[in-house]
Copies of this chain bind each other. A is one copy, B any other.
Amino acid sequence: MSQRKAPSDAGRATIRDVAERAGVSVASVSRVLSGNYPVSDELRRRVMKVVRDLDYVTNAHARSLAGGGTPTVAILINNITGAAFAHVAKGVEGAATLRGWLSLVGTTGDDPERELALVNLMRQQGVAAVVLLGGAYDYDEYQLRMARFARSLDAAGSHLVLVGRPPLEGDVPATTVDYDNESGAYAMASHLLSAGHRKILVLPGHAELTTARSRLNGARRAFEAYGVPFDPGMVRHGPYDYEHGYEAVETSLREGVDFTAVLAGTDVVAAGAMQALRAAGLRVPEDVSIVGYDDIPLASQLTPQLTTVHVPYEEMGRVALRAVADRREGGPGRRRSADGEHLVLGTHVVVRNSVAPPARRD
């Protein structure tokens, strides 16, 4: 009675239960299920019947332990509710599913502590790769931290992928999938400048965020190219959210800052800015033009529809997964060849209705 386990016990059925009930060996059941070894039709039929009767599924943990197992990719993200990140996640998840891979998600909430804990957790899980999403706060410690992650994962047979942030310095075993952030900002700013705008309020994001820096740099280069002096006083840093956009514009208006256009760091910031302008009785784009960045669905749902920079988020996700899958399937032969690989995708301006020539001053 207390042999090892009652066959009809509470927990899930094991391969042994199936074997016993079908009157075959455990090995045979395993072979029927994995299908990588010749088995007679008779045996297959018998086993499959029992499998259906018992509603048996193999234990993934045991399978992983024994060598097999489905590869898993972990997606680490600041905030799961961000639209841009959701699209990257969609790309990763979709591509993973396509190959039968599994995906885990974890949110870091911008907490380095938690990020470390998650990376370790994923290492325990033996994931094929850890995909870190979104811009980084480039403090001094950052490079060291990431390098440590990369080496740690690499030593464990896993791999670090950075999506949406610049590549690491030095010889670090990590893959980077990035987009041409600075060129996008350059093009976007040029668009405003060529429409005649000269007094432009710039809301690039947090000063330490790599993404914000690139966008600011791109804008600055555009100003230079147009021979327009870049006024640091027209730059307002802050988080990538609606409230920041709103407050930055509201404050600027109250302080009497003179501007005819707003160059927002993201579409969401642009939405906030637009609302603040409207609240102050200003029309978009007749009185003030606005542009965003990201081209999330919101951009085309605003009124007026937002001129912005398209970033191929979903594709970045797909590319990221493909990179790790290739590397894994490439085998030992070319395993090392792609270290520090850096993929860059293009961006382009999407012209909609939020930009007009500056209003004539009276």
* Residues of A that sit less than 8 Å from B by CB: 10-12, 55, 57-65, 69-70, 79-81, 83, 86-87, 89-90, 93-94, 97, 102-107, 114, 120-121, 123-126, 152, 155-157, 242, 268, 271-272, 274-275, 278, 297-298, 300-303
Residue from A63, A106, A125 whose CB has the most chain B CB atoms within 10 Å = A125
Chain B residues closer than 8 Å to A94, beta-carbon distance = 107
Chain B residue at minimum C-beta to C-beta distance from A70 = B121
CA–CA, A53 and B126, complex, Å? 19
Q: Are A104 and B107 CB-contacts (below 8 A) given A57-B123, A61-B65, A272-B301?
A: no
CA–CA, A123 and B102, complex, Å? 13
Residue contact B104 to A121, C-beta cutoff 8 Å:
no
Q: Is the interface of A mostly helix, strand, loop or mixed?
A: helix
CA–CA, A102 and B75, complex, Å? 12
Residue contact A10 to B62, C-beta cutoff 8 Å:
no
CA–CA, A94 and B108, complex, Å? 10
CA–CA, A42 and B89, complex, Å? 46
CA–CA, A103 and B72, complex, Å? 13
Residue contact B155 to A120, C-beta cutoff 8 Å:
no
Residue contact B83 to A90, C-beta cutoff 8 Å:
no
Residue contact B303 to A303, C-beta cutoff 8 Å:
yes
Residue contact B103 to A106, C-beta cutoff 8 Å:
yes
- 14 residue pairs of the A-B complex, CB under 8 angstroms, read A55-B152, A57-B124, A57-B156, A59-B65, A59-B124, A60-B121, A60-B125, A61-B61, A80-B86, A80-B90, A97-B107, A102-B106, A103-B106, A104-B104
